[in-house]
Structure 1
Amino acid sequence: MAEPQVAQKAPYIYKPEKDEKVAWCACGMSKTQPFCDGSHRGSEFRPIVLDVQAGKTCAFCGCKQTGNAPMCDGTHSML
């Protein structure tokens, strides 16, 4: 199994202004972190699609090593 690329060793904080559907990048190669831009094509990685609520702050995993994908669980502090 391939390892995802570490995009950053910190979470991406995101607070949407409206309800929306997002696709979290699981491979770490997206240029639009923390969201998928299709860079995973040709790999075994797939984005995680979820609905986010307006005004609710999300801490998306930046290191791609979380055990609670797509949310940060602090794993980056051990890298």
Structure 2
Amino acid sequence: MSMEKMNILVAKLDHRWITSILKKSWIAMASKVHLSTIPPQPVIPSKKPFKVDLVGGKRYAWCTCGHSKKQPFCDGAHKSKAQGLSPLHFVPEKDVTVWLCGCKYTNNRPYCDGTHKQDFIVSAPLHEQT
């Protein structure tokens, strides 16, 4: 066998070996890494705000994902249904009655700012709890 044919054979074997190693590494890595770069979006549990009496000095966790069955507060559903979203923690200074956002798209989190009246919320499907 000529030296040129041997070099070609070695190059082909090297290519196959490297490709095999890379495929195995990619499969192992892909199974451990979430490949999506798009952040999760909340679902819409209500198209109206929630009227809530808050106690001053108490810590609250407002649901940001929309999956909680304890709306408008978090019950931990984001851990399995909306990984990447976490509740918004807040402490009111005094006892107060407020309107907390139910659509999850307010720009004044956790308080309602009227976003639920916009077309993209009005025309969106309402999330049904399962």
TM over 0.5: yes
* Mapped contact 2:56–2:91 kept (Cα < 8 A): no
- Give the superposition deviation at 1:35: 0.5
**How many residues are paired up?**
79
- Give the superposition deviation at 1:46: 0.6
Give the structure with the higher percent helix: 2
Q: How does 1:31-70 map to 2 (within 5 A)?
A: 31-42=69-80, 43-70=83-110
Considering Cα pairs closer than 8 Å and 6+ residues apart, tell me whether 1 or 2 has the greater RCO. 1
Mean Cα displacement is larger for which, 67-76 or 12-21? 12-21
Unaligned runs of 5+ residues in structure 1 are none
TM-score by structure 1 length? 0.89
What is the root-mean-square deviation of aligned Cα atoms in Å? 1.5
Is the aligned partner of 1:23 residue 2:87? no
Identity %: 39
* Mapped contact 1:16–1:53 kept (Cα < 8 A): no
- Give the superposition deviation at 1:25: 0.2
Considering only CA atoms, is the larger Rg found in Structure 1 or Structure 2?
2
Give the structure with the higher percent strand: 1
